[in-house]
Amino acid sequence: MTLAQAIILAFVEGLTEFLPISSTGHLILAQKFLNISVTEFSKSFNIIIQLSAILAVVVLFWKRILSSRQLWGQLAIAFIPTGILGFTLYKYVKGFLLDNVFVTALALFVGGLVLLIVDRLPSLNQGKKEISNLSIKNLLSIGLFQSLSMIPGVSRSAASITGGLISNLSRVQAVEFSFLLAIPTMVAATGYDLLKTGFSFSSSEYLVLGVGSIFSFISSMIAVKAFTSFVAKNNFTIFAIYRILLAAVILSLI
């Protein structure tokens, strides 16, 4: 992987991590388009630059994160389902799913249909619950939804937002909790991957990881601010249509 390819992938990751369109799915497709060979390093690269994207949330929400111990507990509880399933299915996800274009395209399509349904169900668009009022059942439910994002193309953001809406959060609150839940999720995913790989990267690979991480962080800062403003006034239909059209193009080419 060249530095130029790493920068492109980093921008793709940063701009799509917090949108309900699947950053992992887009990374897989971008690697195919750029003719980047699927290797253990390329898979680790995809995971590690996601952590850099998550740092944007830490920077933007640091006051809230540091001031609320209750929030820490809520994030820990919501992370439990993803943690258990992620560690259990790690080998299968990384060994089979992370380079499967068909699965990615199918998940993009199905996820697009789900978002269209979500937008058209009044019961999922009239939530008034605050994050601080989420019950343990709500938190575990959101975590279970997020776990679906282990399938590339599903979108961690879309899954956790849907779980938040079902738990009666407002759209803005569901999006915000999705942002925050990404922090323990990606820290755990990246840390576990590094432990499994034994930090066995060459000096040139560390350089690629460093450059990719920087550009992923920068583009994520832009995406988080833009998406927060957008969702306050709009629904998710535009993202649903985009997912469906992208999936249709991919499925027609494979």
The number of folded domains in the chain is 1
Amino acid of residue 122: P
DSSP, residue by residue, 3-44: HHHHHHHHHHHHHHTTTTT-HHHHHHHHHHHTT----HHHHH
Q: What is the rounded CA–CA span in Å between residue 142 and residue 78?
A: 6
CA distances to 43, 51, 130, 247, 251 from 170, in Å:
35, 26, 8, 28, 34
Which residues span the domain enclosing 171? 3-253
DSSP, residue by residue, 131-165: GGG--HHHHHHHHHHHHGGGSTTS-HHHHHHHHHH
For residue 61, how many other CB atoms are within 10 A of its CB?
16
Q: What is the rounded CA–CA span in Å between residue 162 and residue 111?
A: 10
CB 20 within 8 A of CB 234: no
> What is the pTM (predicted TM-score) of this model?
0.83
What share of residues in the chain are helix, strand, coil (percent, to 5)? Answer: 80, 0, 20
Q: What is the rounded CA–CA span in Å between residue 63 and residue 67?
A: 6
Helix (H, G, I), strand (E, B) or coil at 170: coil
- 12-62 pLDDT per residue, tens: 888 888 888 888 778 778 888 888 877 778 777 877 888 888 888 888 888
pLDDT truncated to tens, each residue of the chain (254 aa)?
788 999 999 998 888 888 888 887 787 788 888 888 777 787 778 778 888 888 888 888 888 888 888 889 999 999 999 888 877 876 666 556 666 788 888 899 999 999 999 888 887 777 778 898 899 999 999 999 998 888 888 888 899 999 999 999 988 899 999 989 988 887 887 777 677 666 677 888 889 889 999 999 999 999 988 988 888 888 899 999 999 998 988 888 76
Q: To which H or E segment does residue 177 belong?
A: helix 171-197
Q: Which class for 54: exposed (0-12), middle (13-18), buried (19 or more C-beta within 10 A)?
A: buried
Q: What is the rounded CA–CA span in Å between residue 90 and residue 192?
A: 9
Please state, for a pLDDT cut of 90, what percent of the chain lies above it.
27
